[in-house]
Amino acid sequence: MSNIGTVLREEISRLSRRESRSQIDPTRKTTAQHRRQIAKLKRQVAQLERRVGLLSRKVLVATPVAPDSPAKPVRFVAKGLRAHRNRLGLSQTGFGKLLGVSAQSIYNWERGLSRPRDQQIAKIVALRAVGKREAGERLKQLVAPKSKRQRKA
């Protein structure tokens, strides 16, 4: 036969374990859920960081960053320059005057012997939007003031 003190102690231990388990189990379940959510979020962050890394490398490779470059990169093709000059009906000298360069520069660009600088490419791009009549009028305005100066001298 067991002692009443031992029986009482065992019963109190059993009841206290049962009570503590009833209070701890919901906390354990909540903690487990939180850990699963944190692990899922960590996986998502890692995946997004990989994507950002790939995209940033693609952007850096696709568009070189230059402080004075236009928003959209512009290709320069010598054949295209000659074709555009012919469409406008201008000589190399006249086209050069519109761009603020010499006829020799236009000749070199069209032959592919040299390449225009970024500032000159920007002017060429601006001339793409100009029609034949407007180009002729601009050329007359550029030539007219010089002829007036020559008459005064």
Could you tell me if 53 and 16 lie in one domain? yes
Could you tell me if 91 and 57 lie in one domain? no
The predicted model gives 98-116 an average pLDDT of: 91
Q: Are 88 and 130 in contact (CB under 8 A)?
A: yes
CA atoms in the 13 A half-sphere facing the CB of 92: 11
What pLDDT does 149 receive?
52
Opening angle at CA 118, ends 112 and 121, nearest 5: 60
What integer best gives the mean pLDDT of the chain? Answer: 85
Could you tell me if 143 and 104 lie in one domain? yes
Whose tokens are 């002829």? That residue is 147
Residue that wins the pLDDT comparison between 69 and 118: 118
With a cut of 50, say whether residue 32 has pLDDT above it.
yes
pTM (2 decimals)? 0.48
With a cut of 90, say whether residue 40 has pLDDT above it.
yes
Please write the tens of the pLDDT for every residue from 45-95: 999 999 998 887 777 655 444 455 556 777 888 898 999 999 999 999 999
The predicted model gives 28-49 an average pLDDT of: 96
Residue 31: partners with Cβ closer than 8 Å, 6 or more residues away: none
What pLDDT does 65 receive?
46
Q: Which residues form the domain of 106? A: 78-152
Cα–Cα distance between 1 and 4 in angstroms, integer? 9
Whose tokens are 């034949």? That residue is 132
Has residue 126 been placed in a domain? yes
